[in-house]
Amino acid sequence: MPKIGYVAIIGKPNVGKSTLMNAIVGAKLSIVTPKPQTTRKNVLGIYTSDSVQIVFLDTPGALVPRYEMQRSMMDSVHKSIEEADVIVVLADATHGLHALNYLTDEFMEVLKQTNKPILLAINKTDALPDRKAVLPLILEFEKLGIFKEYLPISALQNKYVDDLVKTIANYLPDGEFLYEEDFLSDQPERFFVAEIIRETIFLEYGQEIPYSCEVNITEFREREEGKWYIGAELIIERETQKGIIIGAKGQKIKALGLRARIKIEKHLEKPVFLELFVKVRDNWRNNKTMLKSYGY
């Protein structure tokens, strides 16, 4: 009998959740940047082998919310836990004993209450002088009595990730596959396109713009035979951010559009015409109606 189930990947911002899901699924579904709070919505990724199908949910990094958007992000984390058969908590080995503070108090409580199996994966072991350096950390984690297993991994180098997948499979229920073997995600292309643009913004701009910016796809259609037109609004919070995002003589936004288009074309495997529009929506991150219209 094959095994099938849902797995939530949760943890603090920047510990490597999205990198891990991409490594397992073998495709770049979830965006990754060196900045924390990159992921804002759950991203679904499906892993299939001969005997097991695992539906992963990559989630936003757990934090104490300060505005509405972050509250919605944390709702997504709660939802993923509710849907999951198995929960994978990801911690960062380079944080040393601070890694023991593996989630916010809110989520630590949720995990203490649940009777679902929880596995701990300790990531970024490649950045340690020696993989054995995680052993004292694991001994401390064991004292918490929350986790079924402890797995040191490197998502970036895709090392020991298959051990994690095998371990997860042991905890999944029997059942028939839900998806075709080559099916990687059920999220629409529009979502991935918006995420690719957002990733490029995170990489191209400093601290303020990435966090104040949302990407809203307004058009996505085949305009001429084989050439796709994508219109995207870059929503910012304040008039003063317009100059920063556009740059002198439009140089910054031009570079952004070019880099994002190249990545989108690679993702969609077709030529694309990408047009970006900057829109100011005062304080959108605290506006429930606007957040809803952006899919939060």
Positive or negative CA dihedral for 8, 12, 18, 21? negative
**What is the enclosing helix (H) or strand (E) of 122?**
strand 118-123
Among ligand GTP, Mg ion, none, what does residue 206 contact (CB within 5–8 Å per kind)?
A: none
* CB of 21 vs Mg ion, minimal distance in Å: 8
DSSP 13: T
Q: Residue written as tokens 């679902």?
A: 116
Residue with tokens 């035979």: 225
Interaction of residue 155 with ligand GTP, rule CB under 6 A: yes
Q: Please name the residues in contact with 162: beta carbons below 8 A apart, sequence gap of 6 or more.
A: none
Which amino acid, one-letter code, is at 20? L
Asked if 257 interacts with ligand GTP (CB under 6 A), we say: no
Length of the chain: 296
Q: Please say whether the beta carbons of 59 and 80 come within 8 A.
A: yes
- Residue 248 makes CB contacts below 8 A (sequence gap 6+) with none
Please identify which residue in 106, 126, 208, 265 interacts with ligand GTP, judged by CB under 6 A: 126
Segment interacting with ligand GTP (CB under 6 A) among 153-161, 171-179, 240-248, 280-288: 153-161
Q: Binding mask 9-28 vs ligand GTP (x if CB under 6 A, - otherwise)?
A: --x-xxxxxxx---------
From 148-156, 196-204, 232-240, 255-263, span contacting ligand GTP (CB under 6 A) = 148-156
The answer to whether residue 162 forms part of the interface with ligand GTP (CB under 6 A) is: no
Distance between first and last Cα of the chain: 38
x/- string (CB under 5 A) for Mg ion, residues 34-73?
----xx----------------------------------
Q: Is 18 in the site for Mg ion (CB under 5 A)?
A: yes
For residue 201, which of 154, 144, 152, 241 has the smallest C-alpha distance?
241
Residue 58 or 233 having the CB closest to Mg ion: 58
CB 190, min distance to ligand GTP, A: 20
Tokens of 187: 């999220």
Q: Which helix (H) or strand (E) holds 224?
A: strand 214-224
- Does 212 engage in binding with ligand GTP (CB under 6 A)? no
Q: Residues 4, 8, 32, 43: which binds ligand GTP (CB under 6 A)? A: 32
Q: Is 36 in the site for ligand GTP (CB under 6 A)?
A: yes
φ/ψ bin of 93: left (φ > 0), alpha (ψ from -120 to 50), beta (otherwise) = alpha
Nearer to Mg ion, 62 or 193 (CB): 62
Name which of Mg ion, ligand GTP, none residue 124 binds, using a CB cut-off of 5 to 8 Å depending on partner kind: ligand GTP
Largest Cα span, the chain: 62
76 binds, among ligand GTP, Mg ion, none (CB under 5 to 8 A by kind): none
Q: Which two tokens stand for residue 236?
A: 């910012």
Q: Which residues bind Mg ion (CB under 5 A)?
A: 17-18, 38-39
Q: Which residues bind ligand GTP (CB under 6 A)?
A: 11, 13-19, 32-34, 36-39, 60-61, 123-124, 126-127, 154-156
